[in-house]
Amino acid sequence: MRKLAVELGERSYNIYIKAGLIDSGELFEPYCKGDNVLILSNETIAPLYIERLSRAFTNKKVYQFLIKDGEQYKNLDSYSAVLNFLMENGFRRNDTLVALGGGVIGDLGGFVAASYQRGMSLIQVPTSLLAQVDSSVGGKTAVNHPLGKNMIGAFYQPDAVIIDTDTLDTLPDREYFSGFAEVIKYAMLGTEAIKALLQNNLPEIKLRDKGILAEIIYYSCRKKSLVVASDEKEKGSRALLNLGHTFGHAIEKLTNYNQYLHGEAVAIGTVMALNLAFIKGIVNKEIVDLYRNIFVKMELPEYSDDSIIPAQMLTAMKLDKKNTSDKYRLVLPRDQDCILIEEDNLELLEQAISQQLK
Ligand SMILES: NC(=O)c1ccc[n+]([C@@H]2O[C@H](COP(=O)([O-])OP(=O)(O)OC[C@H]3O[C@@H](n4cnc5c(N)ncnc54)[C@H](O)[C@@H]3O)[C@@H](O)[C@H]2O)c1
Ligand SMILES: [Zn+2]
CATH code at position 125 = 3.40.50.1970
Same structural domain for residues 120 and 260?
A: no
Is 130's C-beta closer than 6 angstroms to any atom of ligand 1? Answer: yes
Number of domain units in the chain = 2
pLDDT at 180: 98
Mean pLDDT of 313-341: 87
Do 30 and 177 sit in the same domain of this protein?
no
Same domain, 145 and 227: no
Ligand 2 centroid–CA 166 distance in Å is 22
From 168, 188, 206, the end of a domain falls on 168
Residue 56 and residue 117 in contact, taking contact as beta carbons nearer than 8 Å? no
In the predicted structure, residue 358 carries a pLDDT above the cut 90: no
- In the residue annotation, 118 being an active-site residue is answered as yes
Q: Which of 242, 252, 253, 302 is catalytic?
A: 242
- Judge whether residue 287 has pLDDT over 80: yes
262 is an active site residue: yes
End-of-domain residue from the set 148, 168, 188: 168
User: How many whole angstroms from 103 Cα to the centroid of ligand 1?
Assistant: 4
CATH number of the domain bearing residue 308:
1.20.1090.10
Asked whether residue 134 falls in the same domain as residue 232, the answer is: no
Last residue of a domain, one of 136, 168, 200: 168
Q: Is 347 a catalytic residue?
A: no
pLDDT of 321 reads: 60
Task: State the residue range of the domain holding 269.
Answer: 173-354
For residue 93, how far is its CA from the centre of ligand 1 (angstroms)?
Answer: 26
- Does one domain contain both 317 and 183? yes
pLDDT digits (tens, 9 = 90+) for 28-50: 999 999 999 999 999 999 999 99
Concatenated DSSP letters of 93-110: TTSEEEEEESHHHHHHHH
182: annotated active-site residue: yes
Exposure of 314 by Cβ count < 10 A (0-12 exposed, 13-18 middle, 19+ buried)? middle
Do 261 and 306 share a domain, yes or no? yes
Q: pLDDT at position 232, please?
A: 84
Pair (21, 163) in one structural domain: yes
Average pLDDT over residues 259-273: 97
What confidence score (pLDDT) does residue 324 get?
60
pLDDT above 90: residue 301: yes
Cα–Cα distances (Å) from 133 to 68, 106, 123, 308, 315, in that order, read: 23, 12, 15, 29, 30
Q: State if residue 127 touches ligand 1 by the CB under 6 angstroms criterion.
A: yes
Do 135 and 248 belong to one domain? no
